[in-house]
Amino acid sequence: VSEYSMKNHAALMERAKKVVPGGVIGHAALAPAAHPRFYHRGEGCRVWDVDDNEYIDFMCSFGPNLLGMNHPRVERAAAEQRALGNCFTGPTERWVELAEELVRRIGYADWALFQKNGSDATSLCLTLARAATGKRKILVADGAYHTTSPWGNPSKTGVVDEDRAHFLYYRFNDLESVRRAVAEAGDDFAGLMVSPFKHDAFVDQELVDPDFARGLREICDAHSALLMMDEVRGGFRMAPRGSWESLGVHPDVAAWGKGIANGYPLSTVVGTESLRPIAAGLYSTGSFWYSAVPMAAALETLRVLDEDDVVAHITKVGTEFRTGLDSLAKTHGFALRQTGPPQMPLVLFEDDDGFAKGTFFTTDALKRGIFLHPFHNMFLSAAHSSDDIAQTLERLEASFAELARAVSDGSL
Ligand SMILES: Cc1ncc(COP(=O)(O)O)c(C=O)c1O
């Protein structure tokens, strides 16, 4: 613990601040000040920051590292494609192969379009809903994160009212609130966007109530509106073929990203047959959207996802993590609120104004080589083994003890 240093980090941040507004902005900055912002390398579930501090990483790049960093099979597939070329004037065979794979994999998908970021994909869903229905109003869950675009950016900086003129808000798992928003939309209801579960930062996560999911499908059908699913965060961690597959509730379109190519930039919108002509008529493109390396990486990532039964594995190690944390917390006199699926856990302390306990705890954990998040859901990967979880819990015992000391001596 005594060797933990952030010296290189501080120097790099000084340089960054001179040439990058804010030094580091974006989701890396969505963490307490003590959390590192700059990284040097990664392997499996371990990352090293610019001071060579090693961490067992429970953020997985906020999701993309589904199989773990530097996965040999994915890297080989990417390297093979890179040797052939990445960015051409049009797509390669990988474009068709990956679309075929997504159509084969995802029950309701009859076609796929590719983009780079989750925000591209969710925004495309809205365009499709409006183009398909000729209507304008979009319903989104209050507090849900879907995009950096002005229609849904958590910040209102630079956003004008007109950007959000046709949005109405409902509460996740509350059909009554959906019905109210639908009534307000009247005959202008184009579509409703929903996440597979409520995974907003700062507040407890909520798994979906199956009746809510079924109710959304019925309401959208009754009003000829599109049900749009944001699988960007939950996709491929909740289930390999669609997070609501087991409920039998299928959206009309869905946005996927993050874990799809194990860290390579790629997202996709998949949709049903009736939307094919509308999708074909869009002008939707980007300079890098045909890039073949991420598509080759995605094809291999999806093969590994199935062959290694990754969802079962991350659920198992996530449950070990959750159970172990609960028991350590209890031993040291703390109560945790652990919510959401175990493979994407959110861990909050009870009675924790301003996340003071969470911040103390996760900051102490950093010094012991464990990278946690105090108020955002975390992510397990295929590279986290039961041994890694055991090692994590062993080290976190000391962090709980430190926290108990800080609470009892009144310094917190
Ligand atoms: C649920 C959800 N939707 C959309 C996005 C936007 O994806 P991206 O950051 O790749 O643009 C995110 C990113 O965190 C997300 O969690």
Q: Ligand 1: which atom is nearest the Cα of residue 62? A: 14
Contact residues of ligand 1, CB 6 A cut-off: 62, 117-119, 122, 145-148, 195, 230, 232-233, 257
Pocket probe for ligand 1: among 27, 65, 119, the residue whose CB has the most ligand atoms within 8 Å is: 119
Residue owning the nearest CA to atom 4 of ligand 1:
146
Tokens of 247: 């409920």
Q: Ligand 1: which atom is nearest the Cα of residue 199? A: 1
Instruction: Give the per-residue pLDDT at 1.
Output: 58
CA atoms within 13 A on the CB side of 400: 20
Pocket probe for ligand 1: among 59, 122, 267, the residue whose CB has the most ligand atoms within 8 Å is: 122
**CA–centroid distance, residue 328 to ligand 1 (Å):** 32
Instruction: Give the per-residue pLDDT at 3.
Output: 83
Q: Parallel, antiparallel, or unpaired: how do β-strands 253-256 and 189-194 relate?
A: unpaired
Residue owning the nearest CA to atom 9 of ligand 1:
118
For Cα atoms 223, 284, 146, give the angle at the middle one, nearest 5 degrees. 60
d(CA 222, CA 398): 55
Residue owning the nearest CA to atom 7 of ligand 1:
118
**CA–centroid distance, residue 187 to ligand 1 (Å):** 29
Q: Parallel, antiparallel, or unpaired: how do β-strands 39-43 and 46-49 relate?
A: antiparallel
For Cα atoms 329, 343, 192, give the angle at the middle one, nearest 5 degrees. 120
**CA–centroid distance, residue 232 to ligand 1 (Å):** 6
**CA–centroid distance, residue 91 to ligand 1 (Å):** 24
Burial class, 201, CB count within 10 angstroms (exposed 0-12 / middle 13-18 / buried 19+): middle
User: Could you tell me if 68 and 381 are in contact, meaning their C-beta atoms sit under 8 angstroms apart?
Assistant: yes
Pocket probe for ligand 1: among 25, 124, 197, 258, the residue whose CB has the most ligand atoms within 8 Å is: 258
User: Could you tell me if 128 and 275 are in contact, meaning their C-beta atoms sit under 8 angstroms apart?
Assistant: yes
**CA–centroid distance, residue 6 to ligand 1 (Å):** 29
**CA–centroid distance, residue 118 to ligand 1 (Å):** 5
Q: Which residues of the chain have pLDDT under 50?
A: none
Q: Ligand 1: which atom is nearest the Cα of residue 119? A: 11
